[in-house]
Structure 1
Amino acid sequence: MRTITKVGYVKLVTDGLFLTGCFFLSMQLSGRGILESDIIILIVLLSGWYFSTKISNLYDEFRTETFVGELLLILQNVVIQVFIAGQLFFLLNQSNFARTFVLYYASSILIALIVKNYVTKKALLHYRQGGGNTRYVMFVGYNKITDDLISRIENNPHYGMKVLGVISNEENSSDFSYLKELEKFHNNNDNVTIDDIIVTSDLLNKDMLQGLYKCCESKGVRLKFVPNYSNYYLNRVQFQLFGNYPLITLRSEPLQQAHWLFLKRAFDIAFSSLVFLLIFSWLFPIIAILIKLNSKGPVFFKQDRWGENGKKFKCYKFRSMVVDSQDVKKSGAFNQATQNDPRITKIGAFLRKTSLDEFPQFINVLKGEMSVVGPRPHAHEHNLRTKDLIDKYMIRHWVKPGITGWAQVNGYRGETKTNEAMQKRIDFDIHYIETWTFWSDLKIILMTVYNMAKGEENAY
């Protein structure tokens, strides 16, 4: 969660005024009318908007955010407004007006903010193309990062930025040639307006950096740095303060933030409770009877698997194999389920094909050992064999394992016959961890339901 800029606060205030107008308009259109107590409802809604937009960074990166990007962020925050409004009407025992009000409120907010943002973007673009509100930028160092940033600025005039040149001793193919040597910049007294200097070079020594810093301070120029991690994914680098020191993490982890952990856990409990109430309550007895009729042994199969931070837990499944099945081969390797595996019972084959054998894992979710969505947990023996063979394997244990996951809905479920196939699964798991959003969880759940309905080739 980052600090809102000054321009961001202007947008926040104006959006708040639009929300207020839409609120009172919707009250009138819903037939309820306006009451004195409505000021409390409005304050709660505006407070909810402030905190949800701060978390989603709606008012951050004003210059570099696209119209479509802002539109998606607005949509997310409107959904939260709808949820808050619905709960407020329920608590106030005014649910008879809730549907009509929410319909008018959500529609009017979306229309008002979309039109306002579109007009604002167009007006600023026209103004900046005429030279207004422009920030003049210079780069120190020439490399791929410099090229990428210059291209981004040139291809997005709504940023309101203009590149003056590149300060670099290195040969470059750029059209910019303003003062090749850093020393010449220090001694240059030309009347050139420079707002920002962005350092992309990793070749500057301590003395050069100190000299550049003093020069920028004396000229009133803002000095900024882009860390050059050419061997890493720049969009995954995360910055935070550790005391007074900047701390750089090379992998982003959204689920390390308390508010997202709380949201994910609340969703896990709510979703699992609904599954138990609406599906498991009547489906469990049927599956239990079929398992008992088909073969001797318990209804549930419990297996040691690795959870968050590698902690072992008992994972529940409906038993789909005969009782004396062995998880470990004589060679010591983990005995994965294979196609036409003789250990699988007839009812077990059906349960595996439809993924119904995984349903008891909602018990693990309610116990806090698993999540609805996350990297699939592997058996203890499987982890011991694989962790030293597959690159970045242990990273998948940074979060709770899931009943379904990003790798599974992309075809990497069930048996992994080669190390290459396992590496693909791990790559998908890591991508999920680094790019997690609440909406991605909903997408994975919908994809899982669709795959269950059509059947999956690797489900055996």
Structure 2
Amino acid sequence: MISAFDRTLKLGVSLSVIDWLTFNIVFLLSYYLSWFPFLNWEGNFLTYFITSNIAYIIALQFVTISLHHRWAQPAKVLSNTSRTSLIFIVLYTSFLGMFSDVRIPDAVSSLFLAAIIFVATSVERLVLRTYIIHRRTSGRDSVKTIILGTGSMSQKVADVMTNDWNGYNLLGYFSRLGDQAIVNSTTGEAIPRLGDKDDIIDYLERNHVDELYISEVPAGTVSFKELMQICDKNMIRAYYVPSTVYGEFRKAKVKEFGNIYVLSQYDEPLRDVRNRIEKRLFDIFVSLLFLCTIFPFVLIIVYIVSKITMPGPLFFKQKRTGYDGRDFWCYKFRSMKVNKDSDTVQAVKNDPRVTKWGALMRHTNIDELPQFINVLKGDMSLVGPRPHMLAHTDYYSELISDYMIRHYVKPGITGWAQTHGERGETKTVEDMRRRVEKDIWYIEHWSFWLDIQIMIKTVTDAIHGDDKAY
């Protein structure tokens, strides 16, 4: 009999093949229907075809499709599709540049090609996801599971398993008599209690179970070692749910350390080299595109108005705390009168140092645009915790224990905290504490799709204006 793991693995491979076929269908259609007139197809088709396939296959290796994962939500599917399209177009245009007889598409054409691939692949993946959900809600491709122990973490595990489309068949749980019951959060019905903890060995030997989730270490007549041996013997995959450390370890992450495994206090997606490369490629692509197209026009306008309205230099640079606690020069359009307090005193509402033109730039975030130079240099990212003055870092790091955690990633032009109300003057330590909490949330939950959402929210806020931008 094929195991649940093998079925999932087979499904994942099948989805990769379907992805590849969809890509080639779109590419061939673009050739026959001439969707991309900017490409010099004649005499170069084979080069384009081979190069595009190599680039796409490499892009798929960087990004897990995750469509077959039982917890894959539509946003996750779209996020990974965006990442695949981005990495593909960067690799594709880079590879084409190696051939002197091939004209590299301009930036707008490259974005158009990536958009077509993104739309086609997104539709394909979402249709397949609907098919997978149908299979799982009808009982096929389901994983038979049981839970050992009760409590809040066992309930959270059950909440995932009782969602039909996730494809789990929760048979029940084992616990001490009188322990808190586990319920189906969707229907409100009680999950079957299969017996006392000591009964679990006999149950595993007599029934087919795919996975065991352990939230409490066995006690009494059953030892943990014996339980693991029974699981191995019956090919049951066991997972430990570390409820005792969850509160202190937030989103605890298992990490290989030599020949042992340890739990890290924070889950940091950007510790993954592939994620860092992906984020950096996106930073370079967007910052270079912006600096070569829009920024020159903004620069001319800001220069003219600034020279008319206030004396002094056009740019303002200040040392801020960046990645890994290192200092860097942060660039902005100058919005204040030249003053000696700029390195220690933050801007406040109706700040007399801010000029009328400076207030408008701050209200629309125009003053932050030179930081695209910081992004291209690698000091900053498009999205991340906002960099603070050195004086503020010294002050708040003594008052807020996890303040320095925000420097685990590069600072950003915009961030999760700024798009969720934490902007402007920090009047109290509590104000800064809330901002730090949101910064850490971003670090633990980073995804390419989250960055895109934050950037879109930043643009819409800039268009409507932000009352806290002063």
TM-score, length of structure 2 as denominator length = 0.79
Residue number among 377, 389, 413 corresponding to 2:399 in the alignment: 389
Matched, 1:401 2:411: yes
Alpha-carbon distance between aligned partners in 2 of 1:459 and 1:189, rounded to the nearest angstrom = 61
Tell me the distance in 2 between the aligned counterparts of 1:384 and 1:8.
49
Q: Which residue of 2 aligns with 1:318?
A: 333
Distance 1:337 1:369 in 2: 23
Counterpart-to-counterpart distance in 2, 1:41 and 1:135: 43
1:5 matched to 2:21: no
Please give the secondary structure, in 2, of the residue aligned with 1:252.
Answer: coil
CA distance in 1, matches of 2:114, 2:320: 45
1:257 aligns with 2:267: no
1:282 and 1:100 map into 2 onto residues whose CA distance is: 23
Deviates further, 11-20 or 378-387: 11-20
Tell me the distance in 2 between the aligned counterparts of 1:314 and 1:151.
48
In structure 2, C-alpha distance between the alignment counterparts of 1:66 and 1:350, rounded to whole Å:
40
* Number of the residue aligned with 2:320: 305
Q: Which structure 2 residues correspond to residues 326-341 of structure 1 after superposition, within 5 A?
A: 326-327=341-342, 334-341=344-351
Aligned-partner Cα distance in 1 for 2:448–2:211? 36
Give the aligned partner of residue 186 of structure 2. Answer: none
Secondary structure at the residue paired with 2:399? coil
Relative to 1, partners in 2 of residues 1:15 and 1:281: Cα closer, same or farther, differing over 3 Å? closer
User: Which of 143, 153, 166 is matched with 2:151 structurally?
Assistant: 143
**Superposed displacement of residue 308, structure 1:** 1.0
Q: Is the 8 A contact 2:385 2:414 kept in 1?
A: yes
Change (3 A) 1:388 1:264: same
> Cα gap change, 1:265/1:298 in structure 2, threshold over 3 Å: closer, same or farther?
same
Structure-1 separation of matches of 2:462 and 2:204:
70
Summarize the Cα distance change of 1:213–1:279 in structure 2 as closer, same or farther, 3 Å threshold: closer
**What is the DSSP-based 3-state SS (H/G/I as helix, E as strand, rest coil) of the residue aligned with 1:138?**
strand
Once residues 312 and 104 of structure 2 are traced to their aligned partners in structure 1, the CA distance between those partners, rounded to angstroms, is 53
Q: Counterpart of 1:153?
A: 161
Letter in 2 for 1:212: L
1:160-217 per-position Cα deviation (integer Å, ceiling 9, x unaligned): 42314324466232442323032x4345697322332221115659982112122333
Q: Offset at 1:225?
A: 1.9
**Partner Cα distance (1:264, 1:157) in 2:** 31
Q: How many angstroms apart in 1 are the aligned matches of 2:300 and 2:454?
A: 28
Matches within 5 A, 1:149-298: 149-156=157-164, 159-168=167-176, 171-174=179-182, 175-182=191-198, 184-186=199-201, 191-202=206-217, 208-228=223-243, 229-232=245-248, 236-298=251-313
Query: How high is the sequence identity, in percent, across the aligned residues?
Result: 30
Q: Secondary structure at the match of 2:263?
A: strand
SS of structure 2 residue aligned to 1:406: coil
Letter in 1 for 2:149: G
Once the two structures are TM-superposed, the CA of residue 458 in structure 1 deviates from its matched residue by 1.8
Written as runs of structure 1 = structure 2, the 5 A alignment for 1:59-98 is 59=66, 62-65=69-72, 69-70=76-77, 73-74=80-81, 77=84, 92-93=102-103
Contact 1:232 1:250 in 2 (8 A): yes
Cα distance, 1:24 vs structure 2: 4.2
- For residues 127-142 of structure 1, what are the structure 2 equivalents within 5 Å? 128=139, 133-142=141-150
- Determine helix, strand or coil for the equivalent of 2:247: coil
Offset at residue 44 of structure 1 (A): 4.7
What residue identity is the alignment partner of 1:198? Answer: Y
Inter-partner Cα distance in structure 2 for 1:98 and 1:296: 42
- State the Cα distance separating 1:23 from its structure 2 match: 4.6
Q: Does the 8 A contact of 1:30 with 1:100 survive in 2? A: no
Name the CA shift for 1:13/1:392 in 2 (closer, same or farther; >3 Å).
same
> Aligned equivalents of 1:317 and 1:189: distance in 2?
64
Kindly provide the amino acid, as one letter, of the partner of residue 122 in structure 1.
H
Higher relative contact order (CA 8 A, sep 6+): 2
Does the 8 Å contact 1:142/1:170 carry over to 2? no
Please, which runs of 5 or more residues in structure 1 have no aligned partner?
329-333
Q: Take 1:269 and 1:256, find their aligned partners in 2: how far apart are those partners?
A: 19
Distance 1:241 1:169, change over 3 A: farther
Q: 1:365 to 1:81 in 2, by over 3 A?
A: closer
Indicate the larger mover: 44-53 or 195-204. Answer: 44-53
1:58 correspondence with 2:70: no
The equivalent residue for 1:331 is none
Cα 1:170–1:246 shift into 2, 3 Å: farther
Q: Is the CA contact 1:30–1:104 (under 8 Å) kept in the aligned structure 2?
A: no
Task: Report the RMSD for the aligned CA atoms in angstroms.
Answer: 4.0
SS in structure 1 at match of 2:469: coil
In the alignment, the residues of structure 2 paired with residue 404 and residue 349 of structure 1 have an alpha-carbon distance, to the nearest angstrom, of 18
The correspondence of residues 440-451 of structure 1 with structure 2, limited to 5 A, is 440-451=450-461
Q: Cα gap change, 1:153/1:119 in structure 2, threshold over 3 Å: closer, same or farther? A: same
Aligned-residue offset at 1:405: 1.9
Moved more, 47-56 or 313-322: 47-56
- Consecutive unaligned residues of structure 2, counting only runs of 5 or more, are 1-5, 183-190
Q: Secondary structure at the match of 1:378?
A: coil
Shift in Å at residue 22 of structure 1?
5.1
User: Are the aligned partners of 2:332 and 2:368 in contact in 1 as well (CA < 8 Å)?
Assistant: yes
TM-score computed with the length of structure 1 as normaliser: 0.80
CA distance in 2, matches of 1:412, 1:190: 55
Name the CA distance, whole Å, in 2 between partners of 1:201 and 1:381. Answer: 47
Larger Rg over CA atoms:
1
Look up the SS of the partner of 2:144 in the other structure.
strand
Contact 1:82 1:106 in 2 (8 A): no
Give me the whole-angstrom Cα distance separating, in 2, the residues matched to 1:83 and 1:109: 17
**Counterpart amino acid of residue 276 in structure 2:** L
Change (3 A) 1:217 1:103: closer
Q: Does structure 1 retain, via aligned residues, the 8 Å contact 2:316–2:333?
A: yes
* Residue type at the aligned position of 2:358: G
* One of 118, 129, 143 as aligned partner of 2:130: 118
| CA shift in 2, pair 1:375/1:26, >3 Å | same
Structure 1 residues 36 and 252: alpha-carbon distance in aligned structure 2, compared to 1, 3 A threshold: farther
CA contact (8 A) 1:136 1:162 kept: yes
